[in-house]
Amino acid sequence: MKDDKHLTEEVFDGNEITGLQGQFKTWFLDYASYVILERAVPAIEDGLKPVQRRILHAMKEMDDGRFNKVANIIGQSMQYHPHGDASIGDALVNLGQKDLLIETQGNWGDVRTGDDAAAARYIEARLSKFALEVAFNAKTTEWQLSYDGRKNEPITLPMKFPLLLAQGADGIAVGLSTKILPHNFIELIEASIKYLRGKKFELFPDFQTGGMIDVTDYNQGKRGGKVKVRSHIEELDKKTLLIKSVPYGVTTEQMIESIVKANDQGKIKIRKVTDNTAADVEIQVDLAPGISPDITIDALYKFTSCETSISPNACVIVDQKPQFLSVQELLKISADNTKELLKRELEIKLAELNEKWHYTSLEKIFFEEKIYKELEKKHENWDKVIAAIDKAFVPFKKQLKRDISREDILKLTEKPVRRIYRLDIDELNAQIKGLEADIKQVKHDLNNLTDFAVAYFENLLKKFGKGRERRTEIRQFEVIEARNVIIANTKLYADRSGGFVGTGLKKEEFLFECSELDDIIVITRRGIMKVIKVSDKTFVGKDILHVAVFQKNDERTTYNMIYVDGKTGISYAKRFNVTGVTRDKVYDLTKGDDKSKVHYLTVNPNGETEVVKITLSPNSSARIKELEFYFEELAIKGRSSMGNQVTKYPIKSVKFKEAGRATLSGRKLWFDDKFGRLSAEEKGQYLGMFEPDDRILVIYTDGYYEITDQEMTQKLDAEKVLLIERFDPEKVITAVYVDKKLLQFNVKRFKIETSTLKNKFLFIKEGEGNYVECAATTAEPVLLVQSGKGSQIRSAKFKLAKMTDVMGWKAVGAKLTDYNKSVVMEWVEHEKPTSQQELF
């Protein structure tokens, strides 16, 4: 008996595996190769996994134009697929749900809700017309024996379409996986045409479930890339949200579970969630009282399955090996493969036409030259008859394209011999002429193969493109910070004398509600400042003066402070901001002595100042024991600054006397029209300098106006925003809108009379298709109106302030001009009209 060393070292003995290590090496490799090649990863030639290919081949064998029971299709497929009926049934349902190659009948389930298909005996299927056109051609198919050697099955189907990119693919093998996202049918055909024409093209995923997709990091579908997918969420009213789609790979049931979980964890606040999905997805989310719908929408994207991230990984089988490619490379390979298949089909067709032309020409000569009479002569034997006919063709062989074979003559002798009429010869001539025209066309197509392939794709688009428009909207998503949208539902407490802050100090002073993601800033009487995470209990220092949620990079919140330096006894005043700090680091806001103490501290969100009354110690040698101090005289400096000297005498108390003015200028605001957000970071349209109480006017193209505040978390419908600016209640709004019922442009001028914030009010005539063409708040608006085309363009300028009186915001307005799609309007500066313009 061999020892263990010999057992592991000896791997092969002829064809027999004798070592355990050798068995693991070869068996595992065989198994991995089998799973990769035969089960999980699609082939590049037709974009199909073996089970899918065998199902389609079985359905082609059964195809008679009628629907077949899925149970029967599974049975037929089992002749080719060496696995159980469950795997075939699942693959068949998956193909049917993609609505491309297979027409379905019955309950096939729903990828949006996760509902399963009915049992195989209850549902039916047949190949679609599209599948019959692009996936099958026995003459160009390469065949192999099935697993039991009884039948032939295709190695790959002759697929003349980028099916892999249209359907997508998902598979997990041994040590390998593939994830190819589905793409749009029409865009794939258009990209194929562009590639064949030598033009550049781009491809991005498109999902049956709709929704939105951010393809910024798609990386052409290669490893390392990713896409973000979102649901469409609509605000029905201030208390209700409607989720109108689900992200790819997420079901309505999974989404509802994720929303309930986020609510249970305190990340969002809702009253209830209801699934109203029928023909279209609709999940209704009822909000808790006082909860902002804009913040909740962002929170749904951040904390639930309303937004998911998908990492594509385009792996396919090329020459019996897995390869990682981009979607552009897959499209190019597919287009080249289609072109090659079309070439082979044309070559086969040309050979068949030539063969038919050859035989028809033989037949014509056979009858026209009366060669058939050789059959009536008394030859010694049949071979002599064949030889005589062959000899009779000798004078005409130059008219033919190839030699005459014995088979050709035998085929001619099988035709019934009767009296030949001129009409018979004319019919043969017509057939030959038609064949020659067909041969000429096929040769032309072969010589212009690119044009032929382009025409083929254009025909596919014409026949099958209707109703296959893009469903998933491509847009860039803004980055949502969790701390900005998480609901503040964690109660924070403080033991001021003991110096503790935390959520677990429920017997101490309640401070405020915050979220578990917030940072907390704390300042003590000693002048120590720390920024800490929300926790159960944290020691920050005794005699706590100030506790608040810390906002990083906040350059407006200003701290006004008076403190005494413990070493010298001199008191100083300072104003400072706290923008960026290191969490849990101790910062000393005084000169650093342990006996230093803060006399006075206020926190001002917009740099407000105050006047304070300072009372000195009665034992001090100061002549004047009371004085006033004005913080507005101090400049705002860094938190480590010493400050300005207030007094060298001991201070008994510092008390607030009166509020001062804000020393900070208003903040600059922009409207980021990409995401529909207000911004202080110079993104988008500049709105101006805003004071804290300023409001914003928004006018939408659908005829609504809204007065809103400067809250950065609110989201405006950027696609509908026509005008946005600082709200001035004294300004007159001039608007021109379309009345589709009367087919005219109306003009109206009005002032805002409502005061409710964040409520939309319809200020144009209600009616289907009505919309605002333009709006302005200038005192003397002049509108340029152009209509017509080419040399027939007519333009006019209207001084609308003189044409129309100011009316109520609900008024219909007055007619300006007739409605016409070619009319173009724009605001202009008042100027004298040219010879082609009229000024009204």
Q: Minimal CA–CA distance to 623: which of 649, 656, 652?
A: 649
Which range of 12-21, 625-634, 707-716 scores highest in mean pLDDT? It is 625-634
Measured between its terminal Cα atoms, the distance across the chain in Å is 113
> What confidence score (pLDDT) does residue 420 get?
56
Domains and CATH numbers, the chain: 48-158 (3.90.199.10), 233-310 (3.30.1360.40), 336-457 (1.10.268), 489-550 (no CATH), 557-664 (no CATH), 685-827 (2.120.10.90)
Distance between CA atoms of residues 501 and 490, nearest Å: 13
> What confidence score (pLDDT) does residue 422 get?
60
Q: Which two tokens stand for residue 667?
A: 């903040």
Which of the residues 31, 122, 421, 630 is marked catalytic? 122
pLDDT in tens, 489-539: 789 999 998 999 999 999 999 999 888 888 999 999 999 999 999 999 999
Which range of 147-156, 451-460, 546-555, 781-790 scores highest in mean pLDDT? It is 451-460
Residue 384 has pLDDT above 70, yes or no: yes
Residue 9 has pLDDT above 90, yes or no: no
More confident residue, 354 or 484: 354
Residue 833 has pLDDT above 50, yes or no: no
> What confidence score (pLDDT) does residue 376 get?
65
C-alpha separations of 420 from 351, 400, 424, 430 in Å: 29, 22, 7, 16
Residue 112 has pLDDT above 80, yes or no: yes
Which residue, chain included where needed, has tokens 């005498």?
649
C-alpha separations of 114 from 181, 252, 253, 255, 378 in Å: 19, 7, 7, 11, 81
C-alpha separations of 588 from 205, 526, 544, 549 in Å: 55, 8, 14, 19
Distance between CA atoms of residues 219 and 234, nearest Å: 30
Which amino acid is residue 327, in one-letter code?
V
pLDDT confidence tier of residue 29, bands split at 50, 70 and 90: low
Residue 24 has pLDDT above 70, yes or no: no
> What confidence score (pLDDT) does residue 7 get?
37
Q: What is the DSSP secondary structure assignment for residue 650, as one 8-state letter?
A: P
> What confidence score (pLDDT) does residue 182 get?
93
**3-class DSSP assignment, residue 483:** helix
> What is the reported pTM?
0.78
C-alpha separations of 51 from 84, 145, 531 in Å: 11, 15, 60
Beta bridge partners of 762: 704
Neighbouring C-alpha atoms within 13 Å toward the C-beta of 830: 12
Which residue, chain included where needed, has tokens 């100083």?
572
Determine what percent of the chain is predicted with pLDDT higher than 90. 51
Q: Minimal CA–CA distance to 571: which of 598, 589, 595?
A: 598
210-213: Cβ within 8 A, 24+ apart = 210/244, 210/245, 210/281, 210/471, 210/472, 210/473, 211/245, 211/246, 211/247, 211/248, 211/472, 211/473, 212/472, 212/473, 212/474, 212/475, 212/477, 213/472, 213/473, 213/474, 213/475
pLDDT in tens, 302-325: 999 999 999 998 888 888 888 888
Residue 246 has pLDDT above 70, yes or no: yes
> What confidence score (pLDDT) does residue 389 get?
77
> What confidence score (pLDDT) does residue 13 get?
45
Residue 669 has pLDDT above 50, yes or no: yes
Q: Minimal CA–CA distance to 601: which of 531, 543, 662?
A: 543
> What confidence score (pLDDT) does residue 6 get?
41
CB 98 within 8 A of CB 432: no
HEC readout, 103-138: EEECCCCECCCCECCCCCCCCEEEECHHHHHHCCCH
Determine what percent of the chain is predicted with pLDDT higher than 70. 92
pLDDT in tens, 779-821: 889 999 988 776 677 888 899 988 889 999 999 999 999 998 8
Q: Please enumerate in sequence order all residues whose Cβ is within 8 A of that of 585, keeping only pairs 6 or more positions apart, or say none.
A: 530, 531
Distance between CA atoms of residues 118 and 107, nearest Å: 6
pLDDT in tens, 611-641: 999 999 988 888 888 999 999 999 999 899 9
Listed in order, strand segments (DSSP E) in 515-557 are 519-524, 528-533, 538-539, 544-549
C-alpha separations of 318 from 47, 130, 154, 327, 357 in Å: 11, 25, 16, 14, 40
pLDDT in tens, 31-51: 666 666 666 788 888 889 889
> Most distant CA pair in the chain: distance in Å?
158
> What confidence score (pLDDT) does residue 702 get?
93
CB 515 within 8 A of CB 534: yes
Residue 212 has pLDDT above 90, yes or no: yes
pLDDT confidence tier of residue 190, bands split at 50, 70 and 90: very high
CB 558 within 8 A of CB 608: yes
> What confidence score (pLDDT) does residue 646 get?
93
Q: What is the DSSP secondary structure assignment for residue 781, as one 8-state letter?
A: -
Write b or e for each residue in 721-748: b if 16 or more Cβ atoms lie within 10 A of its Cβ, otherwise e.
bbbbbbbeeebbbbbbbbbeeeebbbbb
CB 818 within 8 A of CB 744: yes
**What's the mean per-residue pLDDT of the chain?**
87
Residue 4 has pLDDT above 70, yes or no: no
H helix intervals, 778-819? 800-803
Q: Minimal CA–CA distance to 812: which of 753, 737, 732?
A: 737
Task: Return the CA Rg of the chain.
Answer: 41
**122 among known catalytic residues:** yes
Residue 831 has pLDDT above 60, yes or no: no
Q: What is the mean predicted confidence (pLDDT) over 440-447?
A: 91
